[in-house]
Amino acid sequence: MSLEFDRKIHEALSNQKLQLKIYANTGRMKEGREASVAPDVLPDYQELRSQANALKRHAIDHLDHYLEEFERNAEARGGKVFWAKDATEVADFILSLAREREARLIVKSKSMTTEEVDLNERLEHHGLEAVETDLGEYIMQLAGERPFHIVGPALHKDRYDVADIFEKHLGIGRETVIENQAAIARARLRAKFLAADLGISGANFLVADSGAVVLVENEGNARLTTTAPRIHVAVAGIEKVIPRAQDLAVFLKLLARSATGQALSVYTSFLSGPRRRGEIDGPEEFYVVLVDNGRTRLLPDRGKRQSLYCIRCGACLNTCPVYRRIGGHSFPWVYAGPIGAILTPQFLGTAHEPALPFASSLCGACAEVCPVKIDIPKVLLELRHEVRRSEAREKRGGAAVRLERLAFRVFAWLATHPRAYRLAAPLGVALLPARLRERFGIDEPPARSFRQLWSRR
Amino acid sequence: MSRESILHRVRTAVGRTEDQPIPEPPPVRLRIPQVDREARLQSVRRSLEALAAKVHFAVTPRAARDLVETLLAGRNAVASNAPYLSECGVANLPGVRTGFRDAAELREACTAALVGITSADYVLADTGTLVLLSSNSEARLISLLPPAHIAVVPSSRMLTGLDELFTVLPSPADASSSMVLITGPSRTGDIEQILVRGVHGPGELTVVLVG
Amino acid sequence: MADRVSLFVTCVVDQLFPNIGLAMTTVLERLGYTVDFPESQTCCGQPAFNNGYWAEARTIARHFLDTFETCGRIVVPSGSCTAMVVNHFVELFRKEPETLARVDSLRQRIWEFSAFLTDVAGVEDVGARFEEVVTFHDGCHALRELGIGSGPRRLLARVRGLELRELAPAGECCGFGGTFSVKFEELSTAMAAAKADAIMRTGANAVVSLDPSCLMQIRGALARAGAPVRILHLAEVLASA
């Protein structure tokens, strides 16, 4: 693996405080989820998962149809749809819109897609102020860090960290009481909401039959972001599309439960276009930016296409024994946890971090909790195979990789030549590094193998 | 144009041609359980109280009015233009401003108000969820900017849950540019997973079911 | 034929835990089965498969298919190796319809040991006695890939004198994951340590599992924690009389 990945993992594992924080915080969400989908609480849980999987499969398998339907319906209601093939086009669109409308202050609600395309950086580079309004994202923005977790961006920060960040970046006195910290953020952000020219949101779902954007949240910052400013821009990956409004009866029952254990999140907004005649408030302009940025690269492979079903609930992160120890910042890209481990190599290429698909014991806990039934371990296995194929093809990886490949070749030969296997196997065990043998307590392997004992019966 | 290239890439990847018809999407069976009025009321109470929201039952619109007056406790409020609020007499309680039609004026009033009073189009009994459609009767900011929100709703508007909502309203986009489902007061656990209410929406939610 | 079973002991049992193979034989014979051991067996191909070396895995899998072609019932003392054959051979031979037909036949003739006892032999009481306090570790492959969870517990419940205490948290990976344990050693060790802590919290004298590789991983962690807890395969407990 890259030195960077190795180092980050080591740092995370060595940080006792971090270990406790991640484990406790993800644990709470994990337990919340478990309680909320228990058979006596949500008897339909497994059926809902199957339905959600089927709906996503259908939508993705017919994605062109639903994207066009979405566009038609969004534009019929006065919205405008912009198609962005990559990060640059997303930023360029928003920049030119901001310029045309003389918008200088932008408020943003949570959107992993905008993280993916580094939108804030580009906006700031061009002199716009883009403020994150989700409390966790706000804290991370002030700290200059990437979100740590899909649902809890500042999961790894405690009140003292937040006090430090506020003191340093807001120029205020040190405040360590959480309620007061939240009040400070509320006051600051209120001013931004009310002064902002443009609000940028993500989208949990894009509803094709309605041309609508669905936003799921607990704070109300997404509602404010999409209600107060006169322009609303929703930035969404093309895979977010679902066929019908009524499909939300399936997805909404799964999303909040899978994320935090709530039956429904506090606010679910179903937004279809700008303010209509008669309506008193709401944005005057409504744009949806449909983002490709590599998603079309994930589509062709039928086995891995399911990676696009993700509804960003975070359940896989909260249940993964690896994520719960190494945390979000150990991952090489914006998406962390099991879903990050399968999206990153598919978006950025396996060469970006060849070890990433191997950073899993394949325990399958993620697949068990995924509300849309993505078979993450299966995709990880396919990606591992892809890594090996490209290593062989491009002669990448160095001596260690070549040696490993040779070792497996030799083992395959031995495994198909039982007599040689019988002789070589104990030798192989004996030749294992002493450290390994000690670690597994096999420094004194049995005198006779099973087959030897058997032949003596 | 990226639109064409993206659509082309999608079609090539999934093996479809332009305008190719699609099979029916998997059916979503919406099940509406049999729940009587009393059970719905109790369910709303249970769900919302678990979320630290308050629930009151008023037998008559007049009783609702008196109740809201008590709840306001002298705080200044903005009320939506919902006919039901007028019907109850909530809209002309002392300290309540209503009748806003201009967005800027409304925003200013909501910024200054301590309480926002609305009705609701529906209440989902199983989760205690208020369903608000934006219209000339219901502005969006009223249930969003002030730190407290009181919703006064006839109990006849209670539905059993999401399935019933999408049965009676299969196309929310036809009704409004904004439908919002509100389940409890605004909350966040973003710092140490400690629950804090009222960032950024109202931290106090009271639902008054009438009749 | 009706009372004959063939053993696939797995490379780990063959080389490192032969007693597990013997224990399994004892139990099966006690139940009246005639046990045979196809000598040409080696490996199921899981390490090669999990590491992405699918061509090599296919080679090994073909040998497996040949070895067990004529065996009516195959019993395996490992959830992960059984899952490899039952769930993943189809992926390896996706493009070989003839081999897939053989895989399909094989999948219906192979069982993880505890599943064989409960589902094929139809027994829960195998006449065992083991007067100890034990805890049970659910290996991930057995639990999630094969859906095996209540079976081993029902078997343990009928062991005379045995007290079973459940682990908390339940269902967490021990951190072995094959070469994961070597490539991500620190991480694997941390996961194992958590498992050892959970085991020690039960106060059990022994931890029982269906998977020798889990047991091996756990043994190391218990030793590092200085805990005097033994590792035992389910077969070893059931073989005790």
Per-residue pLDDT averaged across A254-261, rounded?
97
* Closest chain B C-alpha to A242 CA, distance in angstroms: 10
Nearest Cβ partner for C173 among A321, A404, A415: A321
pLDDT of residue C101: 96
Would you call the peptide bond into C88 cis, given omega within 30 degrees of 0 as the criterion? no
Instruction: Say if A432 is an interface residue toward chain C (CB within 8 Å).
Output: no
Say how many CA atoms lie within 13 Å of A169 toward its Cβ: 17
Do the domains C124-239 and C4-120 match in fold?
A: yes
Report pLDDT digits (tens) over C17-30.
999 999 999 999 99
For residues C190 and C213, give the distance between their C-alpha atoms in angstroms, rounded to a whole number. Answer: 17
What residue of C is the nearest CA neighbor of A382? C52
Percent of chain A past pLDDT 90, that is, above it, reads 88
- C-beta atoms of B107 and A228 within 8 A: yes
What CATH number corresponds to the domain at position B77? Answer: 3.40.50.10420
To the nearest whole number, what is the mean pLDDT of chain A? Answer: 95
Kindly tell me if the per-residue pLDDT of A457 is higher than 60. Answer: yes
For residues C54 and B50, give the distance between their C-alpha atoms in angstroms, rounded to a whole number. Answer: 53
What residue of B is the nearest CA neighbor of A194? B107
A302 in the same domain as A289: no
Structural domain contains residue B111: yes
Structural domain contains residue B28: no
Nearest Cβ partner for C219 among A414, A421, A441: A441
Structure tokens at C76: 């395996």
Which of the residues A280, A292, A297, A306 would you substitute to probe the B interface, choosing the one with the greatest number of B C-beta atoms within 10 Å? A280
SS3 C35: strand
Tokens 């099940």, located at residue = B31
Q: Which of A330-339, A405-414, A428-437, B7-16 has the lowest mean pLDDT?
A: A428-437
Question: Are the C-beta atoms of residues A63 and B8 closer than 8 Å to each other?
Answer: no
What CATH number corresponds to the domain at position A181? Answer: 3.40.50.10420
Kindly tell me if the per-residue pLDDT of B111 is higher than 60. Answer: yes
Type of residue found at A118: D
Among A247, A202, A209, CA closest to A225: A202
Report pLDDT digits (tens) over A143-183.
999 888 888 899 889 999 999 999 999 999 999 999 999 99
- C-beta atoms of C51 and A411 within 8 A: no
Per-residue pLDDT averaged across A404-429, rounded?
93
Among A359, A454, A310, CA closest to A4: A359
A236 in the same domain as A215: yes
pLDDT of residue A155: 87
Question: Are the C-beta atoms of residues A372 and A310 closer than 8 Å to each other?
Answer: yes
Percent of chain C past pLDDT 70, that is, above it, reads 99
Say how many CA atoms lie within 13 Å of A347 toward its Cβ: 22
SS3 A206: strand
Q: Which residues pair with B196 in a beta bridge?
A: B188
Give the angle subtended at the CA of C101 by the CAs of C97 and C102, to the nearest 5°.
120
Per the structure, how many domains does chain B have?
1
Domain boundary among A293, A308, A339: A293
Other Cβ atoms less than 10 A from the Cβ of B78: the count is 26
Size of interface A-B (CB pairs under 8 A): 256
For residues B181 and B196, give the distance between their C-alpha atoms in angstroms, rounded to a whole number. Answer: 20
Report pLDDT digits (tens) over A280-320.
999 999 999 999 999 999 999 999 999 999 999 999 999 99
Query: Within its chain, how far is the Cα of B114 from the centroid?
Result: 18
Report pLDDT digits (tens) over B6-39.
999 999 999 999 999 999 999 999 999 999 999 9
Structural domain contains residue A8: no
Nearest Cβ partner for B200 among A219, A253, A282: A219
Residue B74: give the domain boundaries.
33-210
Structural domain contains residue A162: yes
- C-beta atoms of A365 and C16 within 8 A: no
So where are chain C's domains?
4-120, 124-239
Kindly tell me if the per-residue pLDDT of A200 is higher than 60. Answer: yes
Contacts of C186 in chain A (CB under 8 A): 9-10, 13
Structure tokens at C203: 């106060």
Structural domain contains residue B108: yes
Structure tokens at B164: 């019933």
Structural domain contains residue B15: no
Q: C124-239 in CATH: which number? A: 3.40.50.11810
- C-beta atoms of B16 and A62 within 8 A: yes
Question: Are the C-beta atoms of residues A176 and A83 closer than 8 Å to each other?
Answer: no
Could you confirm whether domain C4-120 is CATH 3.40.1350?
no
For residues C86 and C103, give the distance between their C-alpha atoms in angstroms, rounded to a whole number. Answer: 8
For residues B195 and A122, give the distance between their C-alpha atoms in angstroms, rounded to a whole number. Answer: 33
Kindly tell me if the per-residue pLDDT of A341 is higher than 50. Answer: yes
* Closest chain B C-alpha to A432 CA, distance in angstroms: 45
Structural domain contains residue B181: yes
pLDDT of residue C1: 47
For residues C29 and C18, give the distance between their C-alpha atoms in angstroms, rounded to a whole number. Answer: 17
A116 in the same domain as A166: yes
Among A117, A63, A49, CA closest to A299: A63
Instruction: Say if A160 is an interface residue toward chain C (CB within 8 Å).
Output: no
Report pLDDT digits (tens) over A359-401.
999 999 999 999 999 999 999 999 999 999 999 988 877 888 8
Identify the band that residue A432 occupies on the pLDDT scale cut at 50, 70 and 90.
confident
Q: Which DSSP letter does residue B26 get?
A: P
A310 in the same domain as A287: no
A418 in the same domain as A360: no
The DSSP string of A157-203 is --HHHHHHHHHHHH-------HHHHHHHHHHHHHHHHHH-SEEEE--
pTM of the model: 0.96
Which of the residues A270, A290, A297 would you substitute to probe the B interface, choosing the one with the greatest number of B C-beta atoms within 10 Å? A270
For residues B100 and A279, give the distance between their C-alpha atoms in angstroms, rounded to a whole number. Answer: 11
**Helix (H), strand (E) counts: chain B:** 7, 12
A411 in the same domain as A320: no
Domain boundary among A341, A371, A394: A394
* Closest chain B C-alpha to A168 CA, distance in angstroms: 17
B132 φ/ψ angles, rounded to the nearest 5 degrees: -120, 125
* Closest chain A C-alpha to B18 CA, distance in angstroms: 8
Domain boundary among A369, A394, A419: A394
From its phi and psi, is residue B99 left (phi > 0), alpha (psi between -120 and 50) or beta?
A: left
Contacts of A268 in chain B (CB under 8 A): 180-181, 183
What CATH number corresponds to the domain at position A314? Answer: 1.10.1060.10
pLDDT of residue A431: 85
* Touch between chain C and chain A: 3 or more Cβ pairs under 8 Å: yes
A340 in the same domain as A256: no
Structural domain contains residue B14: no
Q: Which of residues 347 through 376 in chain A touch C, CB cutoff 8 A?
A: 355, 358-365, 367-368
Nearest Cβ partner for A178 among B6, B187, B194: B194
pLDDT of residue C2: 61
Question: Are the C-beta atoms of residues B113 and B158 closer than 8 Å to each other?
Answer: no
For residues C43 and C47, give the distance between their C-alpha atoms in angstroms, rounded to a whole number. Answer: 9
Among C7, C210, C19, CA closest to C115: C210
pLDDT of residue A148: 87
The DSSP string of C147-180 is --SHHHHHHHHTSBT-EEE--SS-S---S-TTTH
For residues C52 and C178, give the distance between their C-alpha atoms in angstroms, rounded to a whole number. Answer: 12
b/e C158-185 (16+ beta carbons within 10 angstroms → b):
ebeebebeebeeebbbbbbbbebbebbe
* Touch between chain C and chain B: 3 or more Cβ pairs under 8 Å: no
Report pLDDT digits (tens) over C81-100.
999 999 999 999 999 999 99
Identify the band that residue C115 occupies on the pLDDT scale cut at 50, 70 and 90.
very high
> Higher pLDDT residue, A436 or B71?
B71
What residue of C is the nearest CA neighbor of A427? C15
Distance (Å) of CA A449 to CA A422, A456, C205, C209, C234? 9, 11, 27, 21, 20
Nearest Cβ partner for B14 among A63, A183, A219: A63
Type and span of the H or E element at B137: none
Structure tokens at C129: 């006695």
Residue A429: give the domain boundaries.
407-455
B124 φ/ψ angles, rounded to the nearest 5 degrees: -90, 115
For residues A60 and A62, give the distance between their C-alpha atoms in angstroms, rounded to a whole number. Answer: 5
Other Cβ atoms less than 10 A from the Cβ of B56: the count is 18
Per-residue pLDDT averaged across B125-151, rounded?
98
Structural domain contains residue B11: no
Q: Which DSSP letter does residue A265 get?
A: -
- C-beta atoms of C16 and A9 within 8 A: no
- Helices assigned H by DSSP within A260-349: 295-298, 315-319, 323-326, 337-348
A255 in the same domain as A382: no
User: In chain C, what are the helix, strand and coil shares in percent, each to the nearest 5?
Assistant: 55, 15, 35
Per the structure, how many domains does chain A have?
3
Instruction: Say if A10 is an interface residue toward chain C (CB within 8 Å).
Output: yes
Report pLDDT digits (tens) over B61-107.
999 999 999 999 999 999 999 999 999 999 999 999 999 999 999 99
Farthest CA pair distance, chain B:
65
